Structure 1
Amino acid sequence: MGRLSGKRAIVTGAGSGIGRASARLFAHEGAQVVAVDRAEDAVDETAALIRKEGGTVSSVAADVSDETAVKAFVEHCIAEYGGLDVLYANAGISGGLVPLQEQTVGYWQEILAINLIGPFLAIKYASPHMIRQGHGSIICTASVAGLRANAGGTPYSASKAGVVSLVQTTANEFYGTGVRVNAICPGLIETGMTKPIFDGARARGSEDRIGQLNPLKRYGLPPEIAQAALFLASDDASYVNGQAIAVDGGLSSTHPFAGRR
Protein backbone atom coordinates (compact mmCIF):
# COMPACT_ATOMS: atom_id res chain seq x y z
CA MET A 1 0.00 0.00 0.00
CA GLY A 2 1.50 3.31 -1.08
CA ARG A 3 1.21 6.49 0.95
CA LEU A 4 -1.32 7.86 -1.57
CA SER A 5 -3.14 4.63 -2.29
CA GLY A 6 -6.71 5.33 -3.37
CA LYS A 7 -6.18 9.08 -3.75
CA ARG A 8 -6.91 11.16 -6.86
CA ALA A 9 -4.36 13.90 -7.55
CA ILE A 10 -3.75 16.76 -9.96
CA VAL A 11 -0.20 18.05 -10.50
CA THR A 12 0.36 21.19 -12.58
CA GLY A 13 3.64 22.07 -14.22
CA ALA A 14 4.06 18.30 -14.65
CA GLY A 15 5.94 18.49 -17.95
CA SER A 16 9.34 18.81 -16.30
CA GLY A 17 11.31 19.45 -13.13
CA ILE A 18 9.49 19.45 -9.80
CA GLY A 19 6.10 18.77 -11.38
CA ARG A 20 7.29 15.74 -13.31
CA ALA A 21 9.13 14.34 -10.29
CA SER A 22 6.05 14.86 -8.10
CA ALA A 23 3.62 13.33 -10.58
CA ARG A 24 5.83 10.26 -10.90
CA LEU A 25 6.24 9.93 -7.13
CA PHE A 26 2.52 10.41 -6.46
CA ALA A 27 1.71 7.68 -9.00
CA HIS A 28 4.40 5.39 -7.56
CA GLU A 29 2.79 5.85 -4.14
CA GLY A 30 -0.59 4.75 -5.46
CA ALA A 31 -2.36 7.92 -6.58
CA GLN A 32 -4.32 8.23 -9.79
CA VAL A 33 -2.76 11.30 -11.35
CA VAL A 34 -3.85 14.01 -13.76
CA ALA A 35 -0.65 15.58 -15.08
CA VAL A 36 -1.13 19.13 -16.38
CA ASP A 37 1.25 21.37 -18.32
CA ARG A 38 0.92 23.92 -21.10
CA ALA A 39 3.65 22.05 -23.05
CA GLU A 40 1.66 19.17 -24.54
CA ASP A 41 4.61 17.05 -25.71
CA ALA A 42 6.34 17.39 -22.33
CA VAL A 43 3.31 16.43 -20.25
CA ASP A 44 2.57 13.50 -22.56
CA GLU A 45 6.15 12.37 -21.99
CA THR A 46 5.60 12.53 -18.23
CA ALA A 47 2.46 10.43 -18.60
CA ALA A 48 4.33 7.88 -20.72
CA LEU A 49 7.01 7.57 -18.01
CA ILE A 50 4.36 7.01 -15.33
CA ARG A 51 2.59 4.34 -17.37
CA LYS A 52 5.91 2.60 -18.02
CA GLU A 53 6.46 2.58 -14.26
CA GLY A 54 3.06 0.97 -13.72
CA GLY A 55 1.18 4.07 -12.58
CA THR A 56 -2.26 5.41 -13.48
CA VAL A 57 -2.23 8.79 -15.21
CA SER A 58 -3.95 11.00 -17.73
CA SER A 59 -2.32 14.07 -19.25
CA VAL A 60 -3.89 17.43 -19.99
CA ALA A 61 -2.37 20.32 -21.92
CA ALA A 62 -3.61 23.52 -20.27
CA ASP A 63 -2.62 27.04 -19.28
CA VAL A 64 -3.05 27.31 -15.50
CA SER A 65 -3.88 31.02 -15.78
CA ASP A 66 -6.89 30.27 -18.02
CA GLU A 67 -9.97 29.94 -15.79
CA THR A 68 -11.90 27.82 -18.26
CA ALA A 69 -8.96 25.43 -18.64
CA VAL A 70 -8.50 25.08 -14.88
CA LYS A 71 -12.19 24.33 -14.34
CA ALA A 72 -11.96 21.76 -17.12
CA PHE A 73 -8.97 19.83 -15.78
CA VAL A 74 -10.49 19.70 -12.29
CA GLU A 75 -13.71 18.33 -13.78
CA HIS A 76 -11.63 15.92 -15.89
CA CYS A 77 -10.04 14.45 -12.76
CA ILE A 78 -13.43 13.98 -11.08
CA ALA A 79 -14.96 12.42 -14.18
CA GLU A 80 -11.94 10.18 -14.87
CA TYR A 81 -11.21 8.99 -11.34
CA GLY A 82 -14.37 9.71 -9.39
CA GLY A 83 -13.06 12.47 -7.16
CA LEU A 84 -10.19 14.71 -6.15
CA ASP A 85 -8.13 14.36 -2.98
CA VAL A 86 -4.87 16.16 -3.76
CA LEU A 87 -4.10 19.25 -5.79
CA TYR A 88 -0.48 20.29 -6.29
CA ALA A 89 -0.48 23.75 -7.93
CA ASN A 90 3.16 23.72 -8.94
CA ALA A 91 3.31 25.45 -12.33
CA GLY A 92 5.43 28.59 -12.40
CA ILE A 93 7.80 30.80 -14.37
CA SER A 94 10.72 32.95 -13.27
CA GLY A 95 10.58 35.68 -15.89
CA GLY A 96 14.35 36.05 -15.69
CA LEU A 97 16.28 38.88 -14.06
CA VAL A 98 15.17 42.08 -15.77
CA PRO A 99 16.31 45.37 -14.15
CA LEU A 100 13.47 47.11 -12.34
CA GLN A 101 13.45 50.20 -14.58
CA GLU A 102 13.10 47.96 -17.65
CA GLN A 103 10.17 45.94 -16.31
CA THR A 104 6.79 46.52 -17.89
CA VAL A 105 3.26 46.00 -16.65
CA GLY A 106 2.89 43.21 -19.20
CA TYR A 107 5.98 41.48 -17.81
CA TRP A 108 4.52 41.60 -14.29
CA GLN A 109 1.11 40.46 -15.48
CA GLU A 110 2.53 37.37 -17.19
CA ILE A 111 4.44 36.28 -14.08
CA LEU A 112 1.57 36.99 -11.71
CA ALA A 113 -0.90 35.20 -14.00
CA ILE A 114 1.01 31.92 -13.90
CA ASN A 115 2.55 32.05 -10.43
CA LEU A 116 -0.29 33.55 -8.37
CA ILE A 117 -3.54 33.61 -10.35
CA GLY A 118 -2.87 30.00 -11.38
CA PRO A 119 -2.81 28.67 -7.80
CA PHE A 120 -5.83 30.84 -6.94
CA LEU A 121 -7.84 29.33 -9.78
CA ALA A 122 -6.76 25.81 -8.88
CA ILE A 123 -7.86 26.34 -5.28
CA LYS A 124 -11.10 27.99 -6.40
CA TYR A 125 -12.18 25.03 -8.50
CA ALA A 126 -10.72 22.14 -6.50
CA SER A 127 -11.86 23.22 -3.04
CA PRO A 128 -15.65 22.84 -3.47
CA HIS A 129 -15.24 19.13 -4.26
CA MET A 130 -12.88 18.63 -1.33
CA ILE A 131 -15.18 20.52 1.04
CA ARG A 132 -18.15 18.36 0.04
CA GLN A 133 -16.21 15.18 0.83
CA GLY A 134 -14.81 16.63 4.07
CA HIS A 135 -11.12 16.29 3.30
CA GLY A 136 -8.41 17.22 0.83
CA SER A 137 -4.84 18.46 0.56
CA ILE A 138 -3.92 21.49 -1.55
CA ILE A 139 -0.24 22.22 -2.07
CA CYS A 140 1.23 25.24 -3.83
CA THR A 141 4.79 25.85 -4.95
CA ALA A 142 5.97 29.15 -3.51
CA SER A 143 9.69 29.89 -3.12
CA VAL A 144 12.28 31.09 -0.64
CA ALA A 145 12.15 34.20 -2.83
CA GLY A 146 8.69 34.79 -1.37
CA LEU A 147 10.06 34.78 2.17
CA ARG A 148 12.96 37.25 1.93
CA ALA A 149 14.88 39.29 -0.64
CA ASN A 150 17.91 38.25 -2.71
CA ALA A 151 16.55 34.92 -3.96
CA GLY A 152 14.82 36.03 -7.18
CA GLY A 153 13.68 38.89 -9.38
CA THR A 154 11.20 41.46 -8.13
CA PRO A 155 7.99 40.24 -9.83
CA TYR A 156 8.86 36.59 -9.25
CA SER A 157 9.51 37.23 -5.55
CA ALA A 158 6.32 39.25 -5.21
CA SER A 159 4.29 36.51 -6.88
CA LYS A 160 5.70 33.87 -4.56
CA ALA A 161 5.08 36.02 -1.48
CA GLY A 162 1.52 36.20 -2.75
CA VAL A 163 1.37 32.39 -2.88
CA VAL A 164 2.46 32.20 0.77
CA SER A 165 -0.32 34.63 1.73
CA LEU A 166 -2.82 32.79 -0.47
CA VAL A 167 -2.06 29.55 1.34
CA GLN A 168 -2.38 31.13 4.77
CA THR A 169 -5.63 32.93 4.02
CA THR A 170 -7.35 30.05 2.24
CA ALA A 171 -6.35 27.59 4.96
CA ASN A 172 -8.31 29.81 7.34
CA GLU A 173 -11.13 30.39 4.91
CA PHE A 174 -11.64 26.63 4.84
CA TYR A 175 -12.02 26.60 8.64
CA GLY A 176 -13.70 23.41 9.82
CA THR A 177 -13.95 21.82 6.37
CA GLY A 178 -11.12 19.29 6.69
CA VAL A 179 -9.32 20.80 3.67
CA ARG A 180 -5.64 21.57 4.25
CA VAL A 181 -3.67 24.16 2.27
CA ASN A 182 0.14 24.39 2.43
CA ALA A 183 3.04 25.70 0.40
CA ILE A 184 6.51 24.41 -0.38
CA CYS A 185 9.24 27.03 -0.69
CA PRO A 186 12.06 25.50 -2.74
CA GLY A 187 15.54 26.95 -2.72
CA LEU A 188 17.83 26.64 -5.74
CA ILE A 189 16.69 23.50 -7.57
CA GLU A 190 18.05 22.30 -10.90
CA THR A 191 15.05 22.49 -13.25
CA GLY A 192 14.28 23.84 -16.69
CA MET A 193 13.43 27.18 -15.09
CA THR A 194 16.87 27.50 -13.48
CA LYS A 195 18.76 26.05 -16.46
CA PRO A 196 20.37 29.41 -17.42
CA ILE A 197 21.96 29.67 -13.96
CA PHE A 198 23.40 26.18 -14.18
CA ASP A 199 24.47 26.52 -17.81
CA GLY A 200 26.26 29.78 -17.05
CA ALA A 201 28.09 28.34 -14.04
CA ARG A 202 29.18 25.27 -15.97
CA ALA A 203 30.41 27.40 -18.85
CA ARG A 204 32.50 29.41 -16.39
CA GLY A 205 33.81 26.28 -14.71
CA SER A 206 32.21 27.23 -11.40
CA GLU A 207 29.58 24.49 -11.11
CA ASP A 208 31.01 23.48 -7.73
CA ARG A 209 29.97 26.87 -6.35
CA ILE A 210 26.27 26.53 -7.20
CA GLY A 211 24.32 26.51 -3.96
CA GLN A 212 27.32 27.50 -1.85
CA LEU A 213 25.31 30.07 0.12
CA ASN A 214 23.22 27.52 2.00
CA PRO A 215 24.60 25.46 4.90
CA LEU A 216 24.52 22.21 2.90
CA LYS A 217 26.68 23.91 0.22
CA ARG A 218 24.79 22.39 -2.68
CA TYR A 219 21.77 22.87 -4.92
CA GLY A 220 18.67 20.71 -4.73
CA LEU A 221 17.06 18.26 -7.13
CA PRO A 222 13.38 17.91 -8.13
CA PRO A 223 12.88 14.57 -6.33
CA GLU A 224 13.81 16.28 -3.05
CA ILE A 225 10.94 18.73 -3.46
CA ALA A 226 8.66 15.90 -4.60
CA GLN A 227 9.26 14.13 -1.30
CA ALA A 228 8.04 17.21 0.58
CA ALA A 229 4.98 17.34 -1.67
CA LEU A 230 4.32 13.66 -1.02
CA PHE A 231 4.38 14.28 2.74
CA LEU A 232 1.92 17.18 2.47
CA ALA A 233 -0.33 15.20 0.12
CA SER A 234 -0.43 12.19 2.43
CA ASP A 235 -2.27 11.53 5.65
CA ASP A 236 1.11 11.75 7.42
CA ALA A 237 0.61 15.53 7.24
CA SER A 238 -2.93 15.41 8.61
CA TYR A 239 -2.18 18.14 11.19
CA VAL A 240 -0.09 20.39 8.91
CA ASN A 241 -2.11 23.32 7.61
CA GLY A 242 -1.52 26.91 6.50
CA GLN A 243 2.25 26.46 6.40
CA ALA A 244 4.99 27.58 4.00
CA ILE A 245 7.71 24.96 4.34
CA ALA A 246 11.17 25.83 3.05
CA VAL A 247 13.08 23.01 1.35
CA ASP A 248 16.26 24.88 0.58
CA GLY A 249 19.31 23.41 2.30
CA GLY A 250 18.96 26.05 4.99
CA LEU A 251 19.21 29.07 2.67
CA SER A 252 16.21 30.89 4.15
CA SER A 253 17.64 30.68 7.65
CA THR A 254 19.76 33.73 6.68
CA HIS A 255 19.42 34.47 2.92
CA PRO A 256 23.06 35.54 2.68
CA PHE A 257 24.09 37.41 -0.44
CA ALA A 258 27.12 38.87 -2.14
CA GLY A 259 27.29 42.64 -2.60
CA ARG A 260 26.52 43.87 -6.08
CA ARG A 261 28.92 46.81 -6.11
Structure 2
Amino acid sequence: MRFSGKSIIVTGAGSGIGRAAARLFASEGGSVICGDITAAAEETADMIVAAGGAAHDIIMDAGNEEDVIRAVAVAGEYYGGLDVMFANAGISGGMANIFDTDVALITEVLRVNLIGPYLAIKHAAPKIAERGGGAIVLTASVAGIRSGAGSPAYSASKAGVINLAMVAAQQLSGSNVRVNAICPGLTETGMTKPTFDYARSADKMDRVGRLNPLRRGAQPEELAKVAAFLASDDASYVNGQAIAVDGGLSSSHPVTKQEYGKTAV
Protein backbone atom coordinates (compact mmCIF):
# COMPACT_ATOMS: atom_id res chain seq x y z
CA MET A 1 0.00 0.00 0.00
CA ARG A 2 2.63 2.49 -1.13
CA PHE A 3 0.07 5.23 -1.77
CA SER A 4 -2.08 4.96 1.33
CA GLY A 5 -3.26 8.44 2.25
CA LYS A 6 -1.86 9.91 -0.96
CA SER A 7 -3.75 12.18 -3.34
CA ILE A 8 -2.86 11.58 -6.98
CA ILE A 9 -3.75 13.18 -10.32
CA VAL A 10 -3.41 11.13 -13.51
CA THR A 11 -3.92 12.84 -16.86
CA GLY A 12 -4.80 10.75 -19.88
CA ALA A 13 -6.47 8.37 -17.43
CA GLY A 14 -9.18 7.31 -19.86
CA SER A 15 -7.12 4.58 -21.53
CA GLY A 16 -3.76 2.90 -21.94
CA ILE A 17 -0.94 3.74 -19.55
CA GLY A 18 -3.00 6.38 -17.76
CA ARG A 19 -5.85 4.02 -16.96
CA ALA A 20 -3.50 1.24 -15.89
CA ALA A 21 -1.59 3.65 -13.64
CA ALA A 22 -4.73 5.12 -12.09
CA ARG A 23 -5.99 1.65 -11.21
CA LEU A 24 -2.61 0.63 -9.83
CA PHE A 25 -2.29 3.76 -7.68
CA ALA A 26 -5.77 3.15 -6.29
CA SER A 27 -5.13 -0.54 -5.66
CA GLU A 28 -2.22 0.51 -3.45
CA GLY A 29 -4.31 2.90 -1.38
CA GLY A 30 -4.13 6.11 -3.40
CA SER A 31 -7.05 8.49 -3.92
CA VAL A 32 -7.02 9.27 -7.63
CA ILE A 33 -8.27 12.16 -9.73
CA CYS A 34 -8.76 10.59 -13.17
CA GLY A 35 -8.38 13.30 -15.80
CA ASP A 36 -9.03 12.86 -19.50
CA ILE A 37 -10.34 14.88 -22.42
CA THR A 38 -13.04 12.25 -22.98
CA ALA A 39 -15.76 10.70 -20.83
CA ALA A 40 -13.53 7.63 -20.52
CA ALA A 41 -12.19 9.31 -17.38
CA GLU A 42 -15.48 8.42 -15.71
CA GLU A 43 -15.15 4.80 -16.84
CA THR A 44 -11.73 4.58 -15.20
CA ALA A 45 -13.01 6.13 -11.98
CA ASP A 46 -15.95 3.72 -11.96
CA MET A 47 -13.58 0.77 -12.35
CA ILE A 48 -11.58 1.98 -9.36
CA VAL A 49 -14.63 2.54 -7.17
CA ALA A 50 -16.07 -0.85 -8.16
CA ALA A 51 -12.82 -2.44 -6.99
CA GLY A 52 -13.13 -0.70 -3.62
CA GLY A 53 -10.81 2.23 -4.34
CA ALA A 54 -11.20 6.00 -4.16
CA ALA A 55 -11.46 7.99 -7.38
CA HIS A 56 -13.03 11.07 -8.90
CA ASP A 57 -13.18 11.85 -12.62
CA ILE A 58 -12.69 15.18 -14.35
CA ILE A 59 -12.95 16.10 -18.02
CA MET A 60 -9.88 18.16 -18.83
CA ASP A 61 -7.52 19.20 -21.60
CA ALA A 62 -4.04 18.58 -20.22
CA GLY A 63 -2.61 21.34 -22.42
CA ASN A 64 -5.04 23.98 -21.15
CA GLU A 65 -3.84 25.94 -18.13
CA GLU A 66 -7.28 26.59 -16.68
CA ASP A 67 -8.08 22.87 -16.81
CA VAL A 68 -4.84 21.95 -15.07
CA ILE A 69 -5.48 24.54 -12.35
CA ARG A 70 -8.97 23.10 -11.92
CA ALA A 71 -7.66 19.53 -11.63
CA VAL A 72 -5.26 20.56 -8.88
CA ALA A 73 -8.09 22.38 -7.11
CA VAL A 74 -10.32 19.30 -7.35
CA ALA A 75 -7.59 17.20 -5.72
CA GLY A 76 -7.56 19.66 -2.85
CA GLU A 77 -11.35 19.72 -2.62
CA TYR A 78 -11.85 15.95 -2.58
CA TYR A 79 -8.65 14.68 -0.99
CA GLY A 80 -7.23 17.63 0.96
CA GLY A 81 -4.23 18.36 -1.25
CA LEU A 82 -1.88 16.72 -3.72
CA ASP A 83 1.02 14.29 -3.33
CA VAL A 84 1.61 12.88 -6.82
CA MET A 85 1.07 14.21 -10.34
CA PHE A 86 1.34 11.78 -13.25
CA ALA A 87 1.33 13.98 -16.38
CA ASN A 88 0.67 11.24 -18.87
CA ALA A 89 -1.70 12.68 -21.50
CA GLY A 90 -0.37 12.87 -25.04
CA ILE A 91 -1.20 12.67 -28.74
CA SER A 92 0.75 11.15 -31.62
CA GLY A 93 0.34 13.73 -34.38
CA GLY A 94 0.56 11.09 -37.10
CA MET A 95 3.68 9.98 -38.96
CA ALA A 96 4.26 12.70 -41.56
CA ASN A 97 7.85 13.77 -42.22
CA ILE A 98 9.21 17.25 -41.57
CA PHE A 99 8.35 18.55 -45.03
CA ASP A 100 4.77 17.27 -45.04
CA THR A 101 3.84 18.29 -41.50
CA ASP A 102 1.60 21.31 -41.08
CA VAL A 103 2.75 23.92 -38.56
CA ALA A 104 -0.67 23.84 -36.92
CA LEU A 105 -0.23 20.12 -36.23
CA ILE A 106 3.22 20.60 -34.69
CA THR A 107 1.82 23.40 -32.55
CA GLU A 108 -1.00 21.18 -31.26
CA VAL A 109 1.33 18.26 -30.52
CA LEU A 110 3.67 20.54 -28.58
CA ARG A 111 0.73 22.09 -26.74
CA VAL A 112 -0.54 18.77 -25.43
CA ASN A 113 2.68 16.76 -25.12
CA LEU A 114 5.09 19.40 -23.83
CA ILE A 115 3.15 22.39 -22.54
CA GLY A 116 0.85 19.93 -20.75
CA PRO A 117 3.65 18.49 -18.58
CA TYR A 118 5.03 22.01 -18.07
CA LEU A 119 1.65 23.14 -16.73
CA ALA A 120 1.43 20.04 -14.56
CA ILE A 121 4.75 20.90 -12.94
CA LYS A 122 3.96 24.60 -12.64
CA HIS A 123 0.68 24.09 -10.80
CA ALA A 124 1.16 20.76 -9.05
CA ALA A 125 4.64 21.24 -7.60
CA PRO A 126 3.72 24.05 -5.14
CA LYS A 127 0.78 22.02 -3.81
CA ILE A 128 2.89 18.90 -3.47
CA ALA A 129 5.57 20.90 -1.66
CA GLU A 130 2.91 22.16 0.78
CA ARG A 131 2.31 18.55 1.82
CA GLY A 132 5.99 18.04 2.59
CA GLY A 133 7.02 16.72 -0.81
CA GLY A 134 6.12 14.01 -3.27
CA ALA A 135 6.59 13.16 -6.90
CA ILE A 136 5.82 14.29 -10.41
CA VAL A 137 6.10 11.72 -13.18
CA LEU A 138 5.99 12.71 -16.85
CA THR A 139 5.36 10.44 -19.82
CA ALA A 140 8.02 11.01 -22.45
CA SER A 141 8.99 8.35 -25.04
CA VAL A 142 11.93 6.55 -26.59
CA ALA A 143 11.09 8.80 -29.56
CA GLY A 144 12.49 11.62 -27.45
CA ILE A 145 15.81 9.83 -26.99
CA ARG A 146 16.71 9.36 -30.64
CA SER A 147 15.21 9.18 -34.11
CA GLY A 148 13.17 6.30 -35.42
CA ALA A 149 10.28 5.92 -32.99
CA GLY A 150 7.89 8.67 -33.98
CA SER A 151 7.09 11.64 -36.19
CA PRO A 152 9.18 14.83 -36.02
CA ALA A 153 6.47 16.63 -34.02
CA TYR A 154 5.98 13.79 -31.55
CA SER A 155 9.70 13.10 -31.17
CA ALA A 156 10.53 16.76 -30.57
CA SER A 157 7.77 17.08 -27.99
CA LYS A 158 8.98 14.04 -26.07
CA ALA A 159 12.61 15.16 -26.18
CA GLY A 160 11.35 18.35 -24.58
CA VAL A 161 9.63 16.37 -21.83
CA ILE A 162 12.87 14.56 -21.00
CA ASN A 163 14.74 17.85 -20.67
CA LEU A 164 11.84 19.40 -18.76
CA ALA A 165 12.12 16.68 -16.12
CA MET A 166 15.79 17.50 -15.63
CA VAL A 167 15.26 21.27 -15.49
CA ALA A 168 12.30 20.97 -13.13
CA ALA A 169 14.20 18.67 -10.78
CA GLN A 170 16.89 21.33 -10.49
CA GLN A 171 14.52 24.25 -10.10
CA LEU A 172 12.62 22.43 -7.36
CA SER A 173 15.78 21.96 -5.29
CA GLY A 174 15.01 21.93 -1.59
CA SER A 175 11.26 21.36 -2.08
CA ASN A 176 11.39 17.57 -1.68
CA VAL A 177 9.42 17.33 -4.93
CA ARG A 178 11.02 14.83 -7.30
CA VAL A 179 10.48 14.97 -11.08
CA ASN A 180 11.19 12.03 -13.36
CA ALA A 181 10.04 10.77 -16.76
CA ILE A 182 9.25 7.38 -18.22
CA CYS A 183 10.12 6.71 -21.85
CA PRO A 184 7.84 3.97 -23.19
CA GLY A 185 8.74 1.93 -26.20
CA LEU A 186 6.03 0.32 -28.34
CA THR A 187 3.11 -0.16 -25.95
CA GLU A 188 -0.44 -1.33 -26.66
CA THR A 189 -2.54 1.78 -26.03
CA GLY A 190 -5.26 3.67 -27.85
CA MET A 191 -2.56 5.45 -29.81
CA THR A 192 -1.03 2.21 -31.11
CA LYS A 193 -4.24 0.14 -31.29
CA PRO A 194 -4.32 0.06 -35.12
CA THR A 195 -0.83 -1.46 -35.20
CA PHE A 196 -1.68 -4.19 -32.72
CA ASP A 197 -5.10 -4.88 -34.26
CA TYR A 198 -3.56 -5.29 -37.71
CA ALA A 199 -0.82 -7.58 -36.41
CA ARG A 200 -3.38 -9.83 -34.73
CA SER A 201 -5.71 -9.94 -37.73
CA ALA A 202 -2.80 -10.71 -40.07
CA ASP A 203 -1.28 -13.27 -37.68
CA LYS A 204 1.89 -11.16 -37.46
CA MET A 205 2.16 -10.54 -33.73
CA ASP A 206 5.65 -12.06 -33.86
CA ARG A 207 6.73 -8.94 -35.79
CA VAL A 208 5.50 -6.48 -33.16
CA GLY A 209 8.46 -5.17 -31.20
CA ARG A 210 10.84 -7.45 -33.08
CA LEU A 211 13.62 -4.84 -33.00
CA ASN A 212 14.00 -4.94 -29.22
CA PRO A 213 15.78 -7.78 -27.37
CA LEU A 214 12.54 -8.96 -25.72
CA ARG A 215 10.97 -9.27 -29.18
CA ARG A 216 7.54 -7.97 -28.16
CA GLY A 217 5.54 -4.86 -27.43
CA ALA A 218 4.61 -3.79 -23.92
CA GLN A 219 1.29 -3.81 -22.10
CA PRO A 220 0.16 -0.62 -20.32
CA GLU A 221 0.44 -2.29 -16.92
CA GLU A 222 4.18 -2.74 -17.44
CA LEU A 223 4.62 1.00 -17.89
CA ALA A 224 2.26 1.76 -15.01
CA LYS A 225 4.46 -0.24 -12.65
CA VAL A 226 7.48 1.90 -13.49
CA ALA A 227 5.46 5.10 -13.12
CA ALA A 228 4.24 3.87 -9.73
CA PHE A 229 7.79 3.11 -8.66
CA LEU A 230 8.93 6.63 -9.56
CA ALA A 231 5.90 8.11 -7.80
CA SER A 232 6.48 6.12 -4.62
CA ASP A 233 8.93 6.41 -1.75
CA ASP A 234 10.72 3.38 -3.23
CA ALA A 235 12.27 5.93 -5.62
CA SER A 236 13.00 8.47 -2.89
CA TYR A 237 16.50 9.18 -4.27
CA VAL A 238 15.62 9.09 -7.97
CA ASN A 239 15.28 12.58 -9.39
CA GLY A 240 15.68 14.29 -12.75
CA GLN A 241 15.86 11.01 -14.65
CA ALA A 242 14.29 9.66 -17.84
CA ILE A 243 13.81 5.89 -17.58
CA ALA A 244 13.50 3.97 -20.86
CA VAL A 245 10.93 1.17 -20.61
CA ASP A 246 11.31 -0.27 -24.08
CA GLY A 247 12.42 -3.90 -23.90
CA GLY A 248 15.99 -2.79 -24.52
CA LEU A 249 15.31 -1.05 -27.84
CA SER A 250 17.26 2.11 -27.00
CA SER A 251 20.26 0.23 -25.59
CA SER A 252 21.86 -0.18 -29.00
CA HIS A 253 22.64 1.51 -32.26
CA PRO A 254 21.43 -0.34 -35.38
CA VAL A 255 23.39 -3.58 -35.77
CA THR A 256 22.99 -7.00 -37.36
CA LYS A 257 21.03 -9.07 -34.85
CA GLN A 258 22.58 -12.17 -33.33
CA GLU A 259 20.24 -14.83 -31.98
CA TYR A 260 20.81 -16.00 -28.42
CA GLY A 261 22.75 -19.25 -28.39
CA LYS A 262 23.78 -19.01 -32.03
CA THR A 263 27.19 -18.15 -33.47
CA ALA A 264 27.33 -15.03 -35.62
CA VAL A 265 28.22 -15.69 -39.24
Confirm or deny a common fold (TM above 0.5): yes
Contact 1:182 1:241 in 2 (8 A): yes
Q: So what's the TM-score if we normalise by structure 2? A: 0.94
Corresponding residue for residue 262 of structure 2: none
SS in 2 for 1:97: coil
Q: Alignment RMSD, CA only?
A: 1.3
Corresponding residue for residue 164 of structure 2: 166
AA partner of residue 109 (structure 2): I
Deviation at residue 246 of structure 1 after TM alignment: 0.6
Corresponding residue for residue 112 of structure 1: 110
CA-to-aligned-CA distance 1:202-233 (integer Å, 9 cap, x gap): 34432211001000111100000010011111
CA distance in 2, matches of 1:255, 1:22: 31
Report how many residues are paired. Answer: 256
Matches within 5 A, 1:1-261: 2-40=1-39, 42-254=40-252, 256=254
Deviation at residue 197 of structure 1 after TM alignment: 1.8
CA distance in 2, matches of 1:86, 1:238: 13
Change (3 A) 1:249 1:157: same
Gaps spanning 5+ residues in structure 1: where? none
More displaced 10-residue stretch of structure 1: 132-141 or 81-90: 132-141
Q: So what's the TM-score if we normalise by structure 1? A: 0.95
Change (3 A) 1:13 1:257: farther
Contact 1:148 1:255 in 2 (8 A): no
Contact 2:81 2:127 in 1 (8 A): yes
Gaps spanning 5+ residues in structure 2: where? 257-265
Deviation at residue 101 of structure 1 after TM alignment: 1.6
Deviation at residue 132 of structure 1 after TM alignment: 2.6
CA distance in 2, matches of 1:30, 1:155: 37
More displaced 10-residue stretch of structure 1: 199-208 or 180-189: 199-208
CA distance in 1, matches of 2:253, 2:87: 25
